[in-house]
Structure 1
Amino acid sequence: MGLGKVEKSRRILRAVKTFVFLITMLASLLILSAPILLVITDTLLPSALLSVSIPFSSLSLETISSHFQNYDFRYSLIDIPLISIIRSIVIFFVYCLCDGPRLSRGPYLGVTMVCSLLSLVFVSIKAPYVFSTEVKITEVALFMSSIVLAVGHLVVAYRISCRERRKLLIYKIDIEAVSACHKGFPTYNKLLQEVRVK
């Protein structure tokens, strides 16, 4: 009876350890692929929210082209998903072009900051016009998603910049340690030979 309980507790402990390991792996995967996941979300979510506000039966290329033709900054919502898509494409393109040093304090953080801040300014100016007459839940969700994703791009870019800076610092310390060893060992060997001669 006691052995059965011990075996059962071991199985439970093994299952908990496996679960914790899987969660840790998933979290690290999400952290490493955060820019890509954010770009995908920023491209799809505002478009999906806009399509909810348009009846599915009337959703076609003609409807979308008519939205562009009859565009009015004060009332049209087609520009919100469009800005999200352009923002995502530009940020992803720069992210793909950058290596470690450029990710640390180069174009990636700067371009992300400019794109996010410009889109936030645009949405902030547009919001009072749209919500001046009637407030719809889908419209609020569309604006909020655009704002949250713009801030998300900034946060992710800043975290990646900090991570790459730490990597470069560690790499610099390692290089300095190696160069110090290369310079230090000949001196040590020379002193050792002098001691032996004496």
Structure 2
Amino acid sequence: MGFSQERLKRAAKTLFFVASMLASLLLCAHPLLVIVLDLLVPSALLAVVDGPTFSLPAVATQVRSYRFRASLVDLPLVSALRSSLILCLYLRFSGMKLTYLVVTAAAAAMSAGYVLLKATAMVEAAQSPGQLRLLSIGNSDWAAAEALFLSSLTLAMAHLLAAYRTSCRERRKLLVYRIDIEAVRSN
């Protein structure tokens, strides 16, 4: 029972159509694209830092033996929490209310503050004498750890930018249709 060439062509066309529709959705809805990136990038960078030992049991072990100054496992969790909160707000308010922008800014600021505090604590722990190496990170893996911190900060700023653009787009729609913006805000 083999596949004919027609069935393979039809399957390829269907996969292309689905992929192009998903890409179109993500490119048109900037907050959704940032959310997908925020969920994937920190996890991928943590896998690079952990190297060949990266697996679900290894992550569970890191969560159980979590230390603020010596563990990077919380950065993808912070990103996932931030993305979940922003996704819920985006779906609830559709970018139309100022609340979406304000809460997105607060979530981005709090997660960026946490990442900066953690980066500072880890650098201090690495420089103090007698401390163990952080997660056994060698010099070659420090670049991946720094990329994890920088990606988390960059994605927090990207959430804020996407929320601002969405808010501006919705405001322009109201102005184009000559809707009284102040009347809409009071509801």
1:163 aligns with 2:169: yes
Query: What residue number does 2:18 align with?
Result: none
Match of 2:102 in 1: 110
C-alpha separation in 1, matches of 2:86 and 2:40: 15
Per-residue Cα deviation, 1:43-74 (whole angstroms, up to 9, x for no partner): 00000000111122x22222111101111111
1:60 pairs with one of 39, 55, 62: 55
Are residue 139 (structure 1) and residue 145 (structure 2) matched?
yes
CA deviations 1:64-117 (Å, max 9, x no partner) are 111011111111101111000111111111111224xxx233332122111100
Return the letter of the residue paired with 1:67: Q
> How big is the shift at 1:165?
0.6
Gaps (5+ residues) in structure 2? 1-23, 128-138, 181-187
Q: What is the aligned length?
A: 144
- On the 8 A contact 2:26/2:32 being kept in 1, the answer is no
Corresponding residue SS for 1:172? coil
- Residue 47 of structure 1 corresponds to which residue in structure 2? 43
Q: Which residue of 2 aligns with 1:25?
A: none
Q: Establish whether residue 97 from structure 1 lines up as the match of residue 97 from structure 2.
A: no
Higher Cα radius of gyration? 1
CA distance in 2, matches of 1:161, 1:114: 15
User: After the TM superposition, which parts of structure 1 deviate over 6 Å for at least 4 consecutive aligned residues?
Assistant: none
- Cα distance in 2 between the residues matched to 1:61 and 1:166: 46
User: Are the equivalent residues in 1 in contact too, given 2:62–2:71 (CA < 8 A)?
Assistant: yes
Rounded Cα–Cα distance in structure 2 between residues aligned with 1:173 and 1:64: 51
Name the structure 2 match of 1:128.
Answer: 120
* Aligned counterparts of 1:167 and 1:109: Cα–Cα separation in 2: 17
Deviations 1:121-180 (A, max 9, x none): 101111112223276101100000000000000011001111111111121269xxxxxx
Q: Specify which structure has the higher proportion of helix.
A: 1
1:54 is paired with a residue whose SS is helix
Deviation at 1:29, TM superposition (A): 6.6
Q: Give distance in 1, aligned partners of 2:69 and 2:39.
A: 23
Structure 2 CA distance for partners of 1:75 and 1:43, relative to 1, 3 Å: same
Alpha carbons of structure 1 residues 144 and 165: separation in structure 2 relative to 1, 3 Å: same
CA contact (8 A) 2:27 2:33 kept: no
TM-score after normalising by structure 2: 0.70
Aligned-pair Cα RMSD in Å: 2.2
Tell me, yes or no, if the aligned pair for 2:101 and 2:167 is still in contact at 8 Å.
yes
Which stretches in structure 1 are left out of the alignment for 5+ residues? Answer: 1-27, 175-198
